[in-house]
Copies of this chain bind each other. A is one copy, B any other.
Amino acid sequence: MERLIRHFQEELEALQQRLLAMGGLAEERTRLAVRGVAERNPDDILAVLNGDEPINDLHIEVDDRCVKLLALHQPMAADLRAIVAAVKINTDLERVGDLAVNVAEAAKRYLQHAPVKPLIDIPRMGDIAQEMLRDALDAFVRRDVALAEAVLIKDDELDALKTQIFRELLTYMLQDPTTIEPALDLILISRHLERIGDHATNIAEDVIFMVSARDVRHQPIDPASSGARG
């Protein structure tokens, strides 16, 4: 029994490592996509457009690991909630990978026009979104509710920047119709970055859900209920 519990903890640890690896990839792809548009670097953009596979492969692997852990170990209480949270976090991280591609797609279109303005707020949004992702996953691994709550607060900052970018770009569009098309892509990029922050927020909320146990989830199993397994 000792051995089996240790084996489960090793499997849970491996699962968390995969999620951290996915988070690292998601952060890096967000960073590249934003740098691509801010520094008008087509190579960065192409790298994001063509590099979605590793995250998608991890997405499938993590789902399999979660189901396998649930099937073979029937974890209870905190362990069970950790795996349910992992299922959700896995989905959020895969979406962040997609959103990095969306940013790169808009960036590719944006580079076909003259720059509307020097970009300051969009890189700032990218930095905040990456920071939120990193903190949310650290909060998951450390079971750190305070850090998770800090992520929720940071999301307001991201929303405020999105609104500010929108208002500013609107004035450019109204003054000069030739900026309408590229400004629209910048508006879309700011919204994709906001959504990356939303996924980090979801992860932070999952961490809070995971750590805040409910009584019913601690309920010992009715021994007879093992019959329901087959």
A residues in contact (CB < 8 Å) with B: 1, 4-5, 7-8, 63-64, 66-68, 70-77, 80-81, 84, 87-88, 91, 170, 173-174, 177, 180-181, 184, 187-188, 191, 202, 209, 214, 216-217, 219, 221-222, 224-230
Contacts and interface: CB of A to CB of B under 8 A. Distances in A.
- Overall SS of chain A's interface: helix
Quickly give the copy total for this chain.
Answer: 2
A224 B1 contact: yes
A170 B72 CA distance: 55
A3 B74 CA distance: 21
A195 to B, nearest CB: 9
Contact of A228 (B74, B217, B221, B222): B74
Nearest to A187: B184
25 contacts: A1-B224, A4-B222, A5-B227, A64-B216, A67-B81, A67-B214, A70-B84, A71-B76, A71-B77, A71-B80, A71-B217, A71-B219, A71-B221, A72-B221, A72-B225, A74-B226, A74-B229, A75-B229, A76-B229, A91-B91, A170-B181, A173-B180, A184-B184, A184-B187, A221-B229
A30 to B, nearest CB: 18
A138 to B, nearest CB: 22
A81 B68 CA distance: 10
A28 B221 CA distance: 39
Contacts of A77: 71
B72 A74 contact: no
A125 B182 CA distance: 25
A214 to B, nearest CB: 7
Contacts of A170: 180-181, 184
Contacts of A76: 71, 229-230
A66 B84 contact: yes
